[in-house]
């Protein structure tokens, strides 16, 4: 998967089949992707 170099922690990346992953960064700036937890009832503006 391609993730932009300037991706912020918490940025969402869409993968195949509608899977949404969240960008996390390690202490050395390395990027890992974790499944996004989804939208809760109190989410939104």
Partner 1 sequence: MLYDVARLEEKMLAAELRGRAELELVHLPSQPLRLGEPPGGGVDAALVRAISLYRAVSSAAVAESWGAAVVNPPVPLMAAGDKLLTQALLERRGIPTPRALVAYTPEAAVEAAGELGYPVVFKPTVGSWGRLAALAGDGEAVRSIAEHREALGGPYKVHYLQEYVRKPGRDLRVICVGGRAVAAAYRVSPGGWLTNAARGARSIPARLDGEAEELAVGACEAVGVEVAGVDLVEDPERGYLVLEVNGVPEFKSLTSATGVNVAASIAEHVVWRARV
Binding site for partner 1 (CB under 8 A): 6-12, 22-24, 37, 40-45
How far apart are CB 12 and partner 1 at their closest, in Å? 6
| Residue in the block written with tokens 């974790």 | 34
Gyration radius of the chain's alpha carbons: 12
- In 3-state terms, what secondary structure has residue 24? strand
How far apart are CB 9 and partner 1 at their closest, in Å? 4
C-alpha span between 22 and 14 (Å, rounded): 9
**Of 16 and 44, CB closest to partner 1:** 44
**Of 2 and 45, CB closest to partner 1:** 45
């Amino acid at each position: 998967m391609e993730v932009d170099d300037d991706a912020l922690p918490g940025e969402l990346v869409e993968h195949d089949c509608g899977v949404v992953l969240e960008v996390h960064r390690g202490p050395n700036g390395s990027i890992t992707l974790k499944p996004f937890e989804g939208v809760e009832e109190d989410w939104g503006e």
